[in-house]
Amino acid sequence: MTRLSNHANIAERINAFLLEKLNQLAVNDEKLLEAMRYGLLIGGKRMRPYLAYITGDMLAANRQDIDAVAAALECIHAYSLLHDDLPAMDDDDLRRGQPTCHKAFDEATAILAGDSLQTLAFDILANHEFSPEIKPKQIKLIQQLVNASGYQGMCGGQALDLAATDKAISVTQLQHLHSLKTGALLEASVLMAAECSSKTTESDKAALSQYAQLVGLAYQVQDDIIDITSTEEQLGKPAGSDLEANKSTYPALLGLQGAQEKAQQLYQQALQALSTLPYNSQSLAEFATFIVKRSH
Amino acid sequence: MTRLSNHANIAERINAFLLEKLNQLAVNDEKLLEAMRYGLLIGGKRMRPYLAYITGDMLAANRQDIDAVAAALECIHAYSLLHDDLPAMDDDDLRRGQPTCHKAFDEATAILAGDSLQTLAFDILANHEFSPEIKPKQIKLIQQLVNASGYQGMCGGQALDLAATDKAISVTQLQHLHSLKTGALLEASVLMAAECSSKTTESDKAALSQYAQLVGLAYQVQDDIIDITSTEEQLGKPAGSDLEANKSTYPALLGLQGAQEKAQQLYQQALQALSTLPYNSQSLAEFATFIVKRSH
């Protein structure tokens, strides 16, 4: 992800912020805290924080406010990975080229670390010292994270994903599933960041929301393509794992070429959504390009 | 729990409120929603909601405000049971005389239902229409739930509990473990309810906090006693399960008589804490009596 402007810089900032949050927790159980740190800080592209910061920068939001938004989003994302990797769910042994949390520790600890990271997300939003003009929106930010991550968002999407395994589903169903499973949190990344700026209009929010949903889908289509065209070494986990798990994917439903065309189409639509914004949205455009161009 | 004043009444009220919250969720995945309903509404003594309502009533809080507090507490409690019962944790097949959630559904669904119930707790607090005078404390209520339920509270306690299995620990360590695992959420039940009243003073809160911690410990001591003195039929789950799981318990550390004396002592201290309150605390006293007198 080094080709993205400021990516290293942003990743460093959010990692330092997250580490500080973990270090502020009183030590009760070393192993659980270690597992939370492992799940939150080992690897990861920090895509959601990145989106939040570049959206916030575009809208002249205060980076100290974005810190909390980005950290809460990353905690939710990290907890979902710990739980999705569990034997009862996707049963993955590797994540980002490292043993998954339940392999490095044990299942009980991975479950509890996930639970605690979810709480930490709300902890960060509820305890952050937001700028005086953003403070009145603190509850709204929590509402946005709730909507994106719970039954009506990410968790619901993961349930649909599990239900779709070993089953034939339509492209529409697959799209709905991904819009909840990954789209909702990506959308929250731009919308929560937009909430931290006082100049964002309703029409800006609508365009950003559309952009994020389209990029989210493009990401998923590209992810499915990469799963069948990359090596284990490139992926940091076994290639072809979707096929092996008998999951519905875009290449399976549309063919490889159809999936590639789909990704291109979503990409163009995402750029179009950005074009309605009265700001310099170059970083967001660059992010969309990165999503569909990446090969691993 | 029928010997407690108003218990049936309060249980009916909170169950109706929780059902309404579940019914308001858009249907994404039927099975997941069903599992959330199963985990949240099948059985249960509603001890935390009960404590919240009687504390709120004592302090002349608005019951419409307590509804949200009680429901959020119960969602956290319910999610913790779904996860604690999992094979990787306590591996329990029965809960309240019924199959545990992962037995009635499957493990993946029980994990996701727990995750979604945790989010629902924050959903309820963040979206509730609190009375105008309590609304400014909405963030504080979320902070209190975070502290009681995450790494620094309930989750940390469960981790300590798992770490203590098959190990000799001291009474002090056992007490610390339970003060986090069950005490923190009971304490939040009275403190969050107290937050919903404008007449509560800091010294009231200190007394209530002490009361809740003592009752929480008494509950745990009594629970350990019941585990070795009751039948499976009375418990709704196998008797002697602590012994079988090789967990540290008060009877194991203090002997049965020592544990019974400990429960009595905690009970007396809890009543003493109440005696400093300038309100009619009869319901809270009655609750403490119920906790140490119950035989199943």
List, for residues A253-275, the tens digit of each pLDDT value.
999 999 999 999 999 999 999 99
Of the residues A82, A92, A119, A139, the best mutation for testing chain B's interface (the one with the most B CB atoms within 10 Å of its CB) is A119
* A245 within some domain: yes
- The span from the CA of A18 to the CA of B40, in Å, is 32
Q: What pLDDT, on a 0 to 100 scale, did the predictor assign at position A111?
A: 98
B160 interaction partners in chain A (CB closer than 8 Å): 28-29
Structural domain boundaries, residue B222: 7-293
Q: What pLDDT, on a 0 to 100 scale, did the predictor assign at position A1?
A: 47
Q: What percent of chain B has pLDDT over 70?
A: 95
Q: Does A175 score more than 50 pLDDT?
A: yes
Of A123, A142, A156, the CB nearest to B126: A142
Whats the size of chain A, residue-wise? 296
Separation of first and last alpha carbons in chain B: 10
Q: What pLDDT, on a 0 to 100 scale, did the predictor assign at position A245?
A: 66
Q: What pLDDT, on a 0 to 100 scale, did the predictor assign at position A244?
A: 63
Q: What percent of chain B has pLDDT over 90?
A: 83
CB atoms within 10 A of CB A166: 9
Between B43 and A158, residue with greater pLDDT: A158
Mean pLDDT of all residues belonging to chain A: 93
* A206 within some domain: yes
Of B122, B139, B163, the CB nearest to A146: B122
pLDDT for A190-204, tens place per residue? 999 999 999 899 999
Token pair in block for residue A199: 């100049």
* A163 within some domain: yes
pLDDT for B170-198, tens place per residue? 999 999 999 999 999 999 999 999 999 99
Q: What pLDDT, on a 0 to 100 scale, did the predictor assign at position A296?
A: 72
Number of domains in chain A: 1
A295 contacts chain B (CB < 8 A): no
How far B105 CA sits from the closest chain A CA (Å)?
12
Query: Which range has the top average pLDDT, A161-175, A264-278, B88-102?
Result: A264-278
A167 contacts chain B (CB < 8 A): no
A159 interaction partners in chain B (CB closer than 8 Å): 28-29, 31-32, 109, 112
A26 interaction partners in chain B (CB closer than 8 Å): 152
Q: What pLDDT, on a 0 to 100 scale, did the predictor assign at position A263?
A: 96
* A113 within some domain: yes
Angle in degrees, CA B49, B40, A163, rounded to 5: 155
* B266 within some domain: yes
| A88 to chain B: closest CA residue | B108
Of A31, A119, A152, the CB nearest to B146: A119
* A2 within some domain: no
What interface predicted TM-score (ipTM) does this complex get? 0.95
Q: What pLDDT, on a 0 to 100 scale, did the predictor assign at position A283?
A: 97
Q: Does B235 score more than 80 pLDDT?
A: no
Of B29, B111, B116, the CB nearest to A89: B111
Q: What pLDDT, on a 0 to 100 scale, did the predictor assign at position A166?
A: 84
Q: What pLDDT, on a 0 to 100 scale, did the predictor assign at position A43?
A: 78
Instruction: Average the pLDDT over A112-136 and give the result.
Output: 98
Q: Are A25 and B152 within 8 A, CB to CB?
A: yes
A33 contacts chain B (CB < 8 A): yes
* A287 within some domain: yes
Side-chain-side CA neighbours of B277 within 13 Å: the count stands at 26
- The span from the CA of A251 to the CA of A232, in Å, is 19
Residue window 77-96, chain A: list those with CB within 8 Å of chain B. Answer: 79-80, 83, 86, 88-89
Of B114, B155, B160, the CB nearest to A119: B155
Q: Does B236 score more than 90 pLDDT?
A: no
pLDDT for B57-78, tens place per residue? 999 999 999 999 999 999 999 9
* A153 within some domain: yes
Residue-by-residue DSSP string for A235-253: HTS-TTHHHHTT---HHHH
Q: What's phi and psi for A86, nearest 5 deg?
A: -60, 150
Please report which confidence band the pLDDT of residue A27 belongs to, taking 50, 70 and 90 as the band edges. confident
For residue A29, what is the domain's CATH number? 1.10.600.10
Q: Does B256 score more than 80 pLDDT?
A: yes
Of the residues B151, B162, B169, B175, the best mutation for testing chain A's interface (the one with the most A CB atoms within 10 Å of its CB) is B151
Between A43 and B30, residue with greater pLDDT: B30
pLDDT for A201-217, tens place per residue? 999 999 999 999 999 99
Q: What pLDDT, on a 0 to 100 scale, did the predictor assign at position B244?
A: 62
